[in-house]
Amino acid sequence: FSEKVFSSVFVIVFAGLIYTAVLAITKIHGQPADSSGVRTWFETGVQSANAIATLALTYTLLGISLGIGSLSGHELNYTTIPNIIKNLTMHFSMAFMTTVIGLPVSAVLRSLLLITFSRAEERSRRHLTE
């Protein structure tokens, strides 16, 4: 039960953070950096991208914890070990998948935000020289 709850929470929070970062990119796109709210949207987007990385790593540690915690409820002997290893690898696989997905998504969003904001700063400089 707890795995389904944690999985659902991960997906909802992950999607919300992606939405926030993409919204920030769209709010910055085409605007000069000195426009009202651009800096705030940039910071919001960067913090959302950073939160994705934190969320991914947190869920990795949670999955490993749940996997190790599941050992306490089982008696270890030669007949139970194959089933226990199967359960552990399932927990660990899911745990590491959050990092495998979360870290690259975070990096891509951060890069897009930095590039978009850099272009906004260039627009501001051009606007000042005109």
Question: What confidence tens digit (pLDDT) does each residue in 21-49 have?
Answer: 999 999 999 999 999 999 999 999 999 99
53 touches 103 (CB < 8 A): yes
**What distance lies between CA 101 and its chain's CA centroid?**
8
DSSP H helices in the chain: 2-28, 38-71, 81-129
Task: Return the closest-CA partner of residue 45 out of 68, 64, 18.
Answer: 18
Q: How does DSSP classify residue 110?
A: H
77 token code pair: 């002997």
Count Cα atoms within 13 angstroms, Cβ side, for 67: 20
Question: What confidence tens digit (pLDDT) does each residue in 92-130 have?
Answer: 887 888 999 999 999 999 999 999 999 999 998 887 776
Q: Report which of residues 37 and 73 the model is more confident about.
A: 37
Query: Does residue 19 have a pLDDT over 80?
Result: yes
18 token code pair: 């992606």
